[in-house]
Amino acid sequence: MNKAQDYSTDGAEHHHPAAPMVEEITDFEVLEIAVRELAIERGLFTAEDHRRFTEFAESVGPAGGSRLVAKIWTDPAFKARAMENPVKACLEIGIDWSKPTGFGTPSDYTHLTILEDTPTLHHVVCCTLCSCYPRPLLGMSPEWYRTTNYRRRLVRWPRQILAEFGLILPPEVEVRVEDSNQKCRFIVLPVRPAGTENWTEKQLAEIVTRDCMIGVALPRPGRTTDVHPIQKARRPVHSSSAQCERHSHERSLQ
Amino acid sequence: MSARSNVDFSRIALLEAIRSQENTWDVLAPRYGVTNPNPPWKTSLTAMCDCLDVSGALPTLDRRRAEDELAEAVYSDVPAPESQLLALAHTMLNRGLVSEGELASHMRIVRSRLEAV
């Protein structure tokens, strides 16, 4: 038996190796605590408020969105309800947009739209103002989503940005960018990929990753994570440059 | 794009001292073999921003505008989420929600508490 095996179930030895930790207290850590405690002292919020929002932040992730998409793909009646009233339909998969305050977080709510892709229409979501994001369904936004690089350029050159994510769409596919704001949130409903016929909801949910629901990736069988081992390109090409050229060409034709 | 935030870009000595230590998570984590992409205080920071929004003390849109501008003008060499934290503290100091003196003093108290044995 491996020494690292957990023997705790029989009350015997417990040999987990300790996970590595950063063993120094940085001023950033101290600053975060100090600002928070002073805000609490001022009465700006309470420690209980903070605990609740921390719990909320740590409890949300993209799994809810994956379940929503998978259920829409497999259940036409649910799809009809979801497209009609997405927030209400989310309750059916255990996502309550009113948490944690009873009316959501002020920065998360109040209108959700499901953007349905088709073979000739692709949606991608951003927030040009700040970083509005459907947190109850997708969890916390990725850092790149918050950058001005993504936010400014996506609305101008969506194909270029998508190509930088490795998503190159043919010219016949229209790309539509939806700009979130404090009261309107969006999630992309990708086209169900071929090769997933007869799959269960659980199987389907596994290939609907966060990036697919933002619109910077497409679901496909075998792709169950947004993080992949890097594979050597067989025909290296700067895809975004190629897209730029195509984009310029398209514009010149208009 | 959004309107300007009216944030004051003047450097704040306390925050400059913190920034200059260059012990951001992207430096520390590999040094200790830690693979978590975010420091342990990141979720707490997110929750604090939500709380400030809920209370009306610092609405999200104001905070994010200021954060964007400060990230470009003052903290451009600081990675996230440290830049987000510095920008939040900077904005709160600007707005008088806390003062630099009391923040420095409270940081000393917090550090002594965390280092207590």
List Cα–Cα distances, B66 to A153, B45, B58, in angstroms: 20, 16, 11
Q: What is the mean pLDDT of residues A54-69?
A: 93
How far is the alpha carbon of A197 from chain B, nearest alpha carbon, in Å?
Answer: 36
Does the residue B60 lie in any domain? yes
- Return the pLDDT at B60: 87
For residue B72, give every residue at least 6 positions away whose Cβ sits within 8 Å of its Cβ, in sequence order, or none: A148
Q: Is the pLDDT of residue A236 over 50?
A: yes
Give the number of other CB atoms < 10 A from CB of residue A177: 18
Question: What residue ranges do the domains of chain A occupy?
Answer: 25-59, 61-224+236-253
Does the residue B2 lie in any domain? no
- Return the pLDDT at A183: 78
The pair of structure tokens assigned to A73 is 């793909």
pLDDT digits (tens, 9 = 90+) for A76-134: 999 999 999 999 999 999 998 888 776 666 555 668 999 999 999 999 999 998 888 99
Does the residue B1 lie in any domain? no
Q: What is the pTM of this model?
A: 0.79
Does the residue B102 lie in any domain? yes
- Contact list in B for residue A49 (CB cut-off 8 A) is 51, 54-55
What is the number of domains present in chain B?
1
Does the residue B4 lie in any domain? no
Just list the catalytic residues of A: 127, 130-132
- Return the pLDDT at B1: 45
Question: For chain A, what is the mean pLDDT?
Answer: 85
Interface contact flag, B106 A34, Cβ < 8 Å: yes
The pair of structure tokens assigned to B117 is 């044995």
The residue whose two tokens read 């975004």 is A240
pLDDT digits (tens, 9 = 90+) for B54-111: 899 999 889 999 999 999 999 999 998 999 999 999 999 999 999 999 999 999 999 9
Give buried/exposed letters for B77-91 (b at 16+ CB in 10 A, else e).
ebebbbbbbbbbbbb
Residue among A26, A126, A153 with most chain B CBs within 10 A, to mutate? A26
Domain A61-224+236-253's class? alpha beta
List Cα–Cα distances, B65 to A72, A150, B22, B59, in angstroms: 36, 15, 25, 10
How many residues appear in chain A?
Answer: 254
Does the residue B47 lie in any domain? yes
- Return the pLDDT at A34: 98
Q: What is the mean pLDDT of residues B3-28?
A: 90
pLDDT digits (tens, 9 = 90+) for A25-57: 999 999 999 999 999 999 999 999 999 999 998
Does the residue B7 lie in any domain? no
pLDDT digits (tens, 9 = 90+) for A176-229: 999 998 778 999 999 999 999 999 999 999 999 999 999 999 999 988 887 765
In single-letter form, the type of residue at position A242 comes to A
Domain, as residue range, for B74: 13-115
- Contact list in A for residue B109 (CB cut-off 8 A) is 34
List Cα–Cα distances, A5 to A13, A19, A97, A254, in angstroms: 9, 14, 40, 65
The pair of structure tokens assigned to A46 is 């309470």
